[in-house]
Amino acid sequence: MALCHTLVLSFFVFIFPTVARLVNVTIDDFNPAIQYAPAGNNQWTARTQDCDSCTTAPDVTQVYNHTWHDATYDFYIKEQSAPETLAIRFNGTAIYAYGILSTLASQTADMYMFIDDFYNPVANFKFNGSDPDGSGSYIYNALLYSNTSLPPGEHSFLLQNGQGGGGLTSLILFDYLIYTT
């Protein structure tokens, strides 16, 4: 009888193997797992509603969870001369960072991405604020960075807005991250 149970159990193990499923996890910009720096100097601004007096004013109805964080790097303005960063630790095999791009000609973006090693960027995202139709609008859900070839395990992701020590003025309107676990 024991042999019969072993054969039946073996049948189910081989016929119905366990399947691991990959799952995408979305992290909103307001999630406390995201660390924003430099802290305490008002470089990062958390936005939750329309802002008529702001230089940039995306339509909140088109933004994930109706929130975003924005900051400007400008080497020539003391309060904006340190690059802003956001960082998160996650366990997974892929990561995607999304933002909002302003098509106003004066608003450029120059961002650097780091994975696990915060000394050597793995990617650079640049946007020149081009406005092909002259509408002065925004590009929502803009993919700023993706990496789908991470080894399984815990990783650190850092996005740096601006080069530091000079370089282009850079506007970031960060919306959300997705990682695959």
pLDDT at 11: 45
Domains and CATH numbers, the chain: 22-180 (2.60.120.260)
| Count of all residues that appear for the chain in the document | 181
* pLDDT tens readout for residues 25-54: 999 999 999 999 987 666 898 888 766 667
Q: Given this model, what pLDDT does residue 88 score?
A: 98
pTM: 0.85
Q: pLDDT digit string (tens) for 66-101?
A: 999 999 999 888 888 889 999 999 999 999 999 999
What is the chain's alpha carbon radius of gyration, rounded to the nearest angstrom? 21
Contact 81, 75 (CB under 8 A): yes
**Structural tokens at position 178:** 């997705």
Report the Cα 67 to chain-centroid distance in Å: 13
